[in-house]
Each structure stands twice: as structure tokens, then as C-alpha cells.
Amino acid sequence: MRTQVAIIGSGPSGLLLGQLLTEAGIDNVILDRVGKDYILGRVRAGVLEEGTVWLMDKAKSGARLHAEGLPHDGFSLAFDGRDHRIDLHGLTGGKRVMIYGQTELTRDLMAHREQSGGLTIYDAANVCPHEFEGAAPYITYEKEGIAHRIDCDFIAGCDGFHGVSRKSVPAKAIRCFEKIYPFGWLGLLADAPPVNHELIYANHPRGFALCSMRSMTRSRYYIQCPLDEKVENWSDDRFWDELRRRLPAHHAEALLTAPSFEKSIAPLRSFVTEPMRFGRLFLVGDAAHIVPPTGAKGLNLAASDVHYLFSGLAEHYQDHSNAGLDAYSAHALARVWKAVRFSWWMTTMIHRFPDTGDFDQKIQEAELDYLTHSRAASTALAENYVGLPF
């Protein structure tokens, strides 16, 4: 088989890139080691920047997002038992974010790809990129015990942090930067109305908490927990009680509960690899970088990578220029590091660290007070939260 662009990974970044390429008339094939149902069963982030929404529209896959998504003009920082609203819309000249589950976004992209006749190969075993430093890269894989090969012009590695794409790069050609945080997020998903019409980020002596949502009838809640905590130690009742303790009293009283249907613990890390291009192999999204979920940047950073790579590929095939591809890594990393900085800053500002002393705690309190009482500081937060321009 031959194609122009072979994409490893059928998560949101791989599907979005594939659909943009298809709409531009550029042939592409997507491979994934797992099946469609497994991919749609993963629960992920749901805060979309305007740039991500724009890319979904460009890929002709945004209709349901606009019909069912929840536009948010702000969010609350809760500390000292009170809410402090960050007016995203007012502080950024009219920008906002959209609440729409990543699973639903993935479902929309899958459906549109099937309608447009794009090829996705699921359950592809032993996927491996080859010869990407030269002019004739290819991918090998196995399907139902039969070996296959796909020759291509370029390979896009959209297969996540644990995928094969980054692992295939020679160690001497890549540099990794990483910070591991000393806590995780215990998350719960339940079919209950959200406690507030906008997100709440809570800083409390017992630890951080986040009140989020997937719709007006489905809520997503998180509480900070030790890295060695076990999900099985947390009944629903224990989770709800702990969440109430960390929220301002009026939110705790208004909280409606329901049985959880998903509960998990996610460790937090910041991770970046440089560069993001190796010959004709391009790393995209979590294959190249991970951020703590605090700033809602993971999915949106993957989308911005897709924007830069798609622009470069379109320029290559339509204008016969490699300028965009040559600049891909530099352009993507410039935005990545700004988002990594923002996510790190948000994480340090609203979590309680186990080694925090009295001085550090006073600094955190002063930071929160300044942030919520200075328009300039609030504007910087708002600009980063809604997303820096591509």
C-alpha cells in the first residue's frame, strides 16, 4: 500500500490531522494498535480553546460540537472559602472556551472520516516506522497475523506518550525535559448536574479540587491525592464528603451526587521532547509533550501541533514548498513551552505541596490575592487560559 501521509494513532490529534488532510485532497492512512471501542471508552479533558474549535470546523467536523457544547465565559478560583471569578470574555476582548468532552470530539471525527471514505486500520499490531531519516519512509504492521507495509512520503506520530513513534527515534537525536509532581488527581464521573455553571478551581488546606462538567447532566470532579493512593480506597460517599470539605460552603451545600460510573487516579507531569521533527517523522501531541491537566492545555496543544503540521504538509503538496515543514518543530515548541509554563504555574498556585513550609504557603496566598485583585494579573491568566494564538 502507498499513501502520502501515514498517521500513527487514531486519537483526536491523528483523526483531526487525517480529516484536515482529506478535506485538502491529501491522501492519508491512520493506524492504531487498539480498536475503535477502546478509543471511545477513554475519558479525557473537555475544555476546548477557540483555535481547537476552529480546526474542528475546518475539518468539517464541528456541527455537533456547536449544537451541544457549552460556551464558558469565565471560571472561579475558590480560596479562603470564597469564589473569585475570572472573566475570560471580558478580559480577553470577547474570547471564551467551549466545554465538550474529548470522547465526543473523537466520535465526531471518527464519524466524519467514515463518511468521507478515509481509511483507518484498527487493531494493527507491532506498528513500526522505518527509514524516516531518508527520502522513502515506510511503516510495517501486522493484522490478523499477516505482515503489511505502507510506503509514504511522511509519517505523523500521533500515538501518545507511550507510543512507538518517539521510541523509534535514536536516543542521541532527542532531548527530553521532565518534571514529576508529588501528587495525583482522583477523578470521578457521574450523571449529576454540575454544582456550578462554570468550572471551579479550589485551593484548600486539605488539597486542590476541581468541579468540571461534560454537559448539564454529567459532571466531572477531581480532588488532589497522594501519588500512592489507591482508587479502591475511595467509595463514592468518601469522595463526595472530601469534595464538599474543599469547596466554599455555598457550593458544598448545592452539590448533587449520583453513583459514579468512572473513577481513576491520574499522576501529574510536565514533559517536553525536542525537537519534534526527525527527517520525515513528525511528533504530534502527547507523543512530544505532556502537561498537567490544571490549565486545560493537553488536547489544545495537540490541536495546535496539528495546525502547524497540516499547514506545512498543505504547503508542501500545494505550493511545492518545504518552508512550513522545516519550521514545524520551532513553531510548535514555541507555543508548547508557553503552555507548559502556564500549566506549571497554575499547578503550583492552586495545589498544596507536601514539602510546603510556612513561607511558601504565605507566598501562594499572596499570589492568589494579587491575581484576583489585579486586572493585569487576571488578564495574563485569562489570555493563557483561552489559548495563545497559533
Using the CB atoms, write b or e for 128-138: b if 16+ within 10 Å.
ebbebeeeebb
Give CA angle at 96 (93, 102), nearest 5°: 155
100, 141, 181, 201: which one is catalytic?
A: 201
298 touches 42 (CB < 8 A): no
Which residue type is seen at 75? Answer: F
58 touches 20 (CB < 8 A): yes
Active site residue 293: yes
Dig out the grid coordinates for 186 from the structure. Answer: 482522583
Active site residue 60: no
Strand order in the sheet with 209-213: 82-87, 74-79, 200-202, 209-213, 219-225, 175-190, 260-274, 289-290
Q: What is the C-alpha to C-alpha distance for residues 263 and 243, in angstroms, rounded to an integer?
A: 14
222, 308, 328, 385: which one is catalytic?
A: 385
Active site residue 122: no
Give CA angle at 288 (287, 292), nearest 5°: 95
Q: What is the C-alpha to C-alpha distance for residues 126 and 146, in angstroms, rounded to an integer?
A: 11
12, 72, 181, 248: which one is catalytic?
A: 72
Active site residue 182: no
Dig out the grid coordinates for 80 from the structure. Answer: 479562603
112, 297, 307, 331: which one is catalytic?
A: 297
Dig out the grid coordinates for 303 from the structure. Answer: 490541536
6 touches 159 (CB < 8 A): no
Active site residue 130: no
What residues act catalytically? 72, 201, 293, 297, 385
